[in-house]
Amino acid sequence: METTQVRKKSDREIQTQVLQELKFDPRVDETEVGVQVKDGVVTLSGRIDSFGKKQAASQAAHHVGGVLDVANDLEVVVPGRDFRSDTDIAQAVREALRWNVFVPEASITSTVSNGWVNLEGQVQSRHEKDAAARAVRDLYGVRGVSNQVVVRAGKVDADRICESIEEALSRQAEREAGRIQVRVKDGLVTLSGSVRSWSERNAVERAAAYTKGVVRVQDELVVDRYS
């Protein structure tokens, strides 16, 4: 079978394309973000006024082909005139959780310290855990989110979990499904093998994490864009 050789991008090319991606993303002001690249690893630096924008900048960088890892050193600094106390943020967090239809609000508690939100509690799926973090990360004044919510899924047959994951992979990451190995034990899914990009890696990890019965995913996938 003939294989297509992919040209390796230089760090300068990656830097230029990351800056273009940041400029294209309406959630980010690219003038606030510094970008450095070394051996495919992108470092983001500067000051930004919300945790949501910090996350958006990281996501934008990962969208660029050739990026292996992102070190997000952006500092969240809320302007003094827009200061929110921890009490204000905690109240906003509770309202955000209460109004989100995908979050079992009564099962989750939060602690806010210096703008950092720590989420705790137990839910029945990874989807609910992720939804809780998404509900609060874009609130004004939030400087970071630590999601310590535990997934307590009902017991499901390991073979059935593997089958569901493989079906999801064939739908979401068809090119990579044959290169990925899936192991399941007591609700812990271990993924190994290689993918060609971070977006494909995320699709594979999401397919596994959102399968019924999965408690946790151990991602051992390697991004190998030249294979």
Which pLDDT band, with edges at 50, 70 and 90, does 1 fall under?
Answer: very low
Give the burial class of 180: count Cβ atoms within 10 A of its Cβ; 0-12 exposed, 13-18 middle, 19 or more buried.
buried
* End-of-domain residue from the set 151, 174, 206: 151
44 and 65 fall within a common domain: yes
DSSP code for 187:
T
* Amino acid 2: pLDDT: 45
Question: The tokens of 187 are what?
Answer: 């609700």
**Buried residues in 192-209 as b, exposed as e (16+ CB within 10 A):** ebebbbbbbbbbbbbbbb
- pLDDT exceeds 70 at position 225: no
Indicate whether 4 belongs to any domain: no
φ/ψ of 226, rounded to 5, equals: -105, 0
Cα–Cα separations (whole angstroms), residue 133 to 8, 34, 197: 35, 26, 24
48, 76, 104: which is the final residue of a domain?
Answer: 76
Higher-confidence position of 186 and 77:
77
Q: Can you give the residue range of the structural domain that contains 192?
A: 158-223
Output the domain CATH number for residue 176: 3.30.1340.30
Percent of the chain with pLDDT over 70: 86
Q: Would you say residue 3 lies in a domain?
A: no
Last residue of a domain, one of 76, 100, 119: 76
pLDDT at position 203 is 77
Asked which of 7-16, 116-125, 160-169 is least confident by mean pLDDT, the reply is 160-169
Mean pLDDT of 136-147: 92
